[in-house]
Structure 1
Amino acid sequence: MNSRDTMPGVHFLLLLIEHGDAAAVRQRLGIGVPEQLTDEGAAWELDRLAAPRSVQLWMLERDDPGTNRLVFHRAHVGDAVKRDILRGLPFGAATGPLPVRVDCGQPYCSHAEPDIPVSRRGLIEGLREARTMGAARTAARAVSKPDWAAVAEADRAEPLPGFARWALGVRIDCPPEVRAQFGSHPKFTKRLRDAGIVEVREYVLLGRPPRDVLAVLRLGTRLFPHRVAEAAEVLAPLVRAELGANPDAWAVLAQLLPSFAGTVPELVVTSGAVARP
């Protein structure tokens, strides 16, 4: 992270307590007020972190053309998502097509819609015919946002093959209710987490290490504030109860954070316990 902002996780957690208390803790830790982020700067920092793939969707949910441009140019964004960005399809609550502004000015960067083949027998039959993981990934790429309802209905009528279900389920834009239809067993959800597909609450409670989780959330205050608000609702009661305005507890947290291997809640609880007399 930026040398002037070496404690992004602490900065994020300090947002969850009273402003005056946070100022006193910053003074005790000697970290000052964090610098303001830009979308471009935050996206650049995000690329350096072990962030889950779902952050791409959280960014797109803003339905902001500038944010869509940032996602379009991120590494490992699938062709299906790029196609829907170029078509102006909203990923959040917007009801109409979005302005499309993805040109980055780089001469060797393509801004053309990806060529995504569709089975000659149609989208659904292409998914049903998938008998290998490679074939399933190819068939799943053809699914666009308007197609998810038809995919869900087809799966309810007759379950899609396992390869197709998995290829669809790990799409960042697969609707949560459709993904849940594909599987809800703990082993399935763990595989999804391992593939970088998480809900915000799950990420906050189970993500590791806290250094990365909190750094991602700090950047999210700029890139996906609506999702960070969900994270704050989960963490704020615990942070206020365990750390509150106690500068000693915050000092312990700052010392533990770089190498702590547990979860964010475990870090907060441990820091509070160590600092208690």
Structure 2
Amino acid sequence: MRENSRSQQAVGFLLGLVDEETAARVRARTGLPGPEAPDASVRRLQRAWTWSRLLPASVALWILENDDPTLNAVVWQHLEMDAGLRRAVVRGIPFGPGRTEPVRVDPLLIGQEPEVPARYVREGLVGCLRAVSSMNEGRAAASMVLTRADWDTVAAADDEAPLPGYARWALSVRPDCPPAVRAGFGSHAKFTHRIRQAGVLAGPAPFALSYDPAVGVLEVLAMGHVLFPRRMPEAEDALRPLVREHLGESEEAWAVLAQLMETFHGTAPELIVTAGAIA
């Protein structure tokens, strides 16, 4: 099966939020193809990740939560700025909730672990974090936090005596930093702005509602049932009411949506409302 265009994928995702009869009627009216085969999602992901502004860091975490060696190898290529996630992948650390068994590592990644900080070897995790005096040192120290037990250690150390600011910053922008640990680091406006800039999101709902352009966001969500199935209901529940209210069973509104999709620069909610209003 050939791969659909990105706009076809994007509209197709939204069609999945209405009943099958309506979706079939809209496809007949607009000429949109049916859903792609699942294996097309991995190939599409390779291209989508070139839009570095579009794909927030949390997308990588949602994919890693599958603990799938093949997907891990794909994601690993795009983690140049996160030595911690790279280290976890090549060590076979599981990310899925409740999982403890090591994940098989793709043979191509064996031996590719980032360098271990010398201070970590000498002083351990907490000592390495407490010695941080720059952002580079913060990133290096934070890259050694790999397991849930490590995050517990970080939280306990920060409770005992606050970690240096750069260490807190480097830890907080890790997408796998537990929300409770991140909340302990601070909540002022500058802090939350840094988190947002790093692409750390509470879940797919903020991604679906506030990122742009809509075509890119919706194309990624169209791959979601393969790449991050556990997280998909959050995005679908966020967009479903808008789709039903502004597009619903209106073939004209769906036709306008398909025409606007590729060139619309706003968010998905803005696109949905605009298409409905024009129709």
Q: TM-score, normalised by structure 1?
A: 0.88
Given that 1:84 and 1:144 are in contact with CA atoms closer than 8 Å, whether structure 2 keeps it comes out as yes
User: 1:42·1:223 contact (CA, 8 Å) conserved in 2?
Assistant: no
- Tell me, yes or no, if the aligned pair for 2:90 and 2:110 is still in contact at 8 Å: no
Q: Is the 8 A contact 1:208 1:264 kept in 2?
A: yes
Q: Is the 8 A contact 2:8 2:33 kept in 1?
A: no
Change (3 A) 1:184 1:204: farther
In the alignment, which residue of structure 2 is the partner of 1:206? 210
Residues 45, 27 of structure 1: alpha-carbon distance in 2 compared, 3 angstrom cutoff? farther
2:155 and 2:181 in contact (8 A); partners too: yes
2:6–2:215 Cα contact (<8 Å) kept: no
**More displaced stretch, 184-193 vs 156-165:** 184-193
Q: 1:189 to 1:256 in 2, by over 3 A?
A: farther
Share of identical aligned residues, percent?
A: 44
User: Could you tell me which of 115, 124, 127 is aligned with 2:126?
Assistant: 124
Distance in 1 of aligned mates of 2:195 and 2:92:
27
Deviation at 1:110, TM superposition (A): 5.5
2:183 equivalent to 1:180: yes
Does the aligned pair in 2 maintain the 1:42–1:222 contact within 8 Å?
no
| Cα distance, 1:5 vs structure 2 | 5.8
Q: Once the 2 structures are TM-superposed, how far is the Cα of residue 250 of structure 1 from its aligned partner?
A: 1.2
Secondary structure (helix, strand or coil) at the match of 2:274 reads: helix
Amino acid at match of 1:271: A
Q: Deviation at 1:102?
A: 0.8
Deviates more, 1:7-16 or 1:115-124: 115-124
Q: Tell me if 1:157 matches 2:170.
A: no
Q: 8 Å contact 1:72–1:102 — kept in the other structure?
A: no
Which residue of the partner structure matches residue 97 of structure 1?
A: 101
Contact 1:5 1:34 in 2 (8 A): no
Any gaps of 5 or more consecutive residues in structure 1? none
Task: Show the 5 A alignment for 1:49-88.
Answer: 49=51, 50-76=54-80, 78-88=82-92
Q: CA separation in 1, counterparts of 2:189 and 2:277?
A: 31
Once superposed, what is the RMSD of the aligned Cα atoms?
A: 2.3
Decide whether aligned partners of structure 1 residues 152 and 144 sit closer, same or farther in structure 2, where only a CA change above 3 A counts: same
Alpha-carbon distance in 2 for matches of 1:150, 1:5:
43
| Count of equivalent residues | 271
CA distance in 2, matches of 1:4, 1:212: 11
1:114 paired with 2:114, answer yes
Tell me, what secondary structure is at the counterpart of 2:122?
coil
Residues 1:72 and 1:5: Cα distance change in structure 2 (over 3 Å): closer
Distance 1:185 1:212, change over 3 A: farther
Give the whole-Å Cα distance in 2 for the aligned partners of 1:246 and 1:102.
47
What SS does the corresponding residue of 2:223 show, helix, strand or coil? helix
Work out whether 1:166 is the aligned partner of 2:169: yes
Which residue is equivalent to 1:22? 23
Unaligned residue ranges in structure 2 (runs of 5+): none
Deviation at 1:77, TM superposition (A): 6.1
Query: What is the CA–CA distance in structure 2 between the aligned matches of 1:70 and 1:17, rounded to whole Å?
Result: 32
Distance 1:187 1:273, change over 3 A: farther
Contact in 2 for aligned 1:63/1:98 (Cα 8 Å): no
Closer, same or farther: CA 15–191 of 1 in aligned 2, 3 Å: same
Distance of 1:98 and 1:17 partners within structure 2: 39
| One-letter amino acid of the structure 2 residue matched with residue 230 of structure 1 | E
